[in-house]
Amino acid sequence: MCGIIGFSGTENCVPLLLEGLKTLSYRGYDSAGIAVHTDGGVTTVKAKGKLEILEEKLKTHGGLFGTCGIGHTRWATHGAPSLRNAHPHLSGNRKFAVVHNGIIENYASLKAELEAEGFSFASETDTEVVCHLLEKYYKGDLKEAVFSAVKRLEGSYALGILCSDMPETLVAVKRFSPLIIGIAEDANMIASDVTAIVPHTKKVIYIGDGEIAFLTPSSVELFDWQGSMKDRRISIVNWDVVSAEKNGWDHFMMKEIMEQPRAVAETLERNIKNGEVVFEGLKLDATRLKKINRINIIACGSAYHAGVVAKYVFEELLRIPTEVDLASEFRYRNPIVDGDTLTLAISQ
Ligand code: GLU
SS3 letters across 142-162: HHHHHHHHHHCCCEEEEEEEE
CA distance 76 to 158: 15
Which residue's CA lies nearest to atom 8 of ligand 1?
101
Atom of ligand 1 nearest to the CA of 1: 8
Q: Name, in order, each residue with C-beta under 8 angstroms of 146's C-beta and a sequence gap of 6 or more.
A: 134, 161, 171, 173, 212
First to last CA, the chain: 13
Determine if ligand 1 sits within 6 Å of the CB of residue 2: yes
Contact (CB, 8 A) for 162 and 68: yes
Whether residue 127 has its Cβ less than 6 Å from ligand 1: yes
Ligand 1 site, residue 125, Cβ cutoff 6 A: yes
Question: Which segments of 89-243 are extended strands (E)?
Answer: 89-90, 96-104, 155-163, 170-175, 180-183, 188-191, 203-206, 211-216, 219-224, 229-230, 234-236
Cα separation, 320 vs 266, whole angstroms: 28
Best mutation site among 1, 2, 99 for ligand 1, i.e. most ligand atoms within 8 A of its Cβ? 2
Distance CA 302, CA 255 (A): 14
The atom number, within ligand 1, closest to the CA of 177 reads: 8
Minimum-distance ligand 1 atom for the alpha carbon of 123: 10
In angstroms, the Cα distances linking 293 to 288, 290, 309, 319, 338 are 11, 8, 19, 9, 10
- B/e letters for 143-162, b = 16+ CB within 10 Å, e = fewer, are eebbbbbbebbeebbbbbbb
Task: Give the atom of ligand 1 at the shortest distance from the alpha carbon of 127.
Answer: 2
**Which ligand 1 atom is the nearest neighbour of the CA of 72?**
9
Tell me the C-alpha distance between 203 and 183, whole Å.
5
pLDDT of residue 114: 98
Q: Cβ distance 79 to 124 under 8 Å? A: yes
Count CB atoms within 10 A of the CB of residue 291: 10
For residue 285, report the distance from its CA to the centre of ligand 1, in Å.
Answer: 27
Q: In angstroms, what is the span from residue 81 Cα to ligand 1's centroid? A: 10
Q: Is the CB of 102 under 6 A from ligand 1?
A: yes
Cβ 103 under 6 angstroms from ligand 1: yes
Cα 127 to ligand 1 centroid, rounded to whole Å: 7
How many Cα atoms sit within 13 Å of 230 on the Cβ side? 19
Q: What sections of 10-127 are H helices per DSSP?
A: 14-24, 51-60, 107-116
Question: Per-residue confidence of the chain (348 residues) as pLDDT tens digits?
Answer: 689 999 999 999 999 999 999 999 877 899 999 999 998 899 999 999 999 999 999 988 777 899 999 999 999 999 999 999 999 999 999 999 999 999 999 999 999 999 999 999 999 999 999 999 999 999 999 999 999 999 999 998 999 999 999 999 999 999 988 999 999 999 999 999 998 999 999 999 999 999 999 999 999 999 998 889 888 889 998 777 666 677 778 887 888 888 888 888 877 887 888 888 888 777 888 898 899 999 999 998 889 999 999 999 999 999 999 999 998 888 788 988 999 999 999 986
CA–centroid distance, residue 103 to ligand 1 (Å) = 6
Per-residue confidence (pLDDT) for residue 227, from 0 to 100? 87
Within a 10 A sphere around the Cβ of 22, how many other Cβ atoms? Answer: 17
The preferred substitution site among 103, 110, 153, 266 for testing ligand 1, maximizing ligand atoms within 8 Å of CB, is: 103
Distances (CA, A) of 188 to 180, 185, 244: 11, 8, 19
Q: How far is the CA of 35 from the centre of ligand 1 (A)?
A: 16
**Separation of CA 241 from chain center:** 21
* Mutate-to-test residue for ligand 1 from 5, 90, 99, 100, highest number of ligand atoms within 8 A of CB: 100
Q: Whole-angstrom Cα distance, residue 296 to residue 134?
A: 50
**For residue 66, which of 133, 164, 211, 181 has the smallest C-alpha distance?**
164
- Which is nearest to 150 in space by CA: 220, 102, 219? 102
